[in-house]
Copies of this chain bind each other. A is one copy, B any other.
């Protein structure tokens, strides 16, 4: 086995003609206002904030924060890395582009509501919003299109495989709709060429694709990655609070979760869940902004461990 230590190899590489790459940072910045999950966009709402990773940046995260704040004037709260991918630059001298994507959560200010490129993420993924029932686009367009794509394969194995993947991702089987599969669903639509990005028609000036508003390059895929990650994460880490104002009612919290999940939750059980997890405490105030009795206001309990709820069982452990 031929082995060079990393140290040795790095030195060699540095002096030789080392292949260098460009590094970009891309941000999926999410906020929730008026019961809508919104993503921060630039340009004609067709791109995510992004920029090159520069020497001045102390770290990837700080580089990202700098870029987002410069481009949008918006500070970022919680940040987590999403995914890194590489693309040979199609147009240029065989240079490789590496993109490192991040998910950021922000408390959107009232002031910059729709003005500054905050768009509901359901503009891009209309089939993902099941709060008012199954969206019409699913039975009308998306599912028939996908099933047709599955059928058009010549190889029966591929047909079967495609069919099963569609059924699973879109909940056509017994398991039902699973909101966490947002990325798989987008990827199926891409494979089936039902989204504009996959058809090269978008640069002909049609920003509204067959299914949902599109974005440049692979930005919509990155957004889908962020949505899926967030939908998964709210279930085992108290990240929702990064999106909430300092004080809130349980119904507001519920509406935020519902906006993210794209589904309605059972109110009584939601409250039971929140309270038994000991994540919030009453502020003492009550508000009555709507009908019904006044609601108590709560705040997030800053109990050092935002680590909490890292439960995760599913292995039948034994004590011995």
Q: A265-B316, A310-B178, A314-B236 are in contact. Are A117 and B51 (CB under 8 A)?
A: no
Copies in the complex: 2
Give the contacting residue for A264; candidates B6, B164, B178, B320; CB below 8 A.
B320
**Which of the 9-residue segments A28-36, A42-50, A136-144, A289-297 touches chain B?**
A42-50
Which of chain B's residues have a CB closer than 8 A to the CB of A301?
none
User: Closest residue of chain B to A303, judged by CB?
Assistant: B164
CB distance from A4 to the nearest CB of B (A): 8
Whether B6 contacts A47 by the Cβ 8 Å rule is yes
Whether B55 contacts A180 by the Cβ 8 Å rule is no
Whether B216 contacts A5 by the Cβ 8 Å rule is yes
Which of chain B's residues have a CB closer than 8 A to the CB of A22?
10, 13-14, 18, 20-21
Q: Which residues of A contact B (CB under 8 A)?
A: 1-3, 5-7, 9-10, 13-14, 18-24, 42-43, 46-47, 50-55, 59-60, 70-73, 81, 83-86, 89, 92, 94-98, 100, 116-117, 160-161, 164-165, 168, 178, 180-181, 184, 216-217, 219, 232, 234-236, 257, 261, 263-266, 269-270, 272-273, 304-305, 307, 310, 312-318, 320
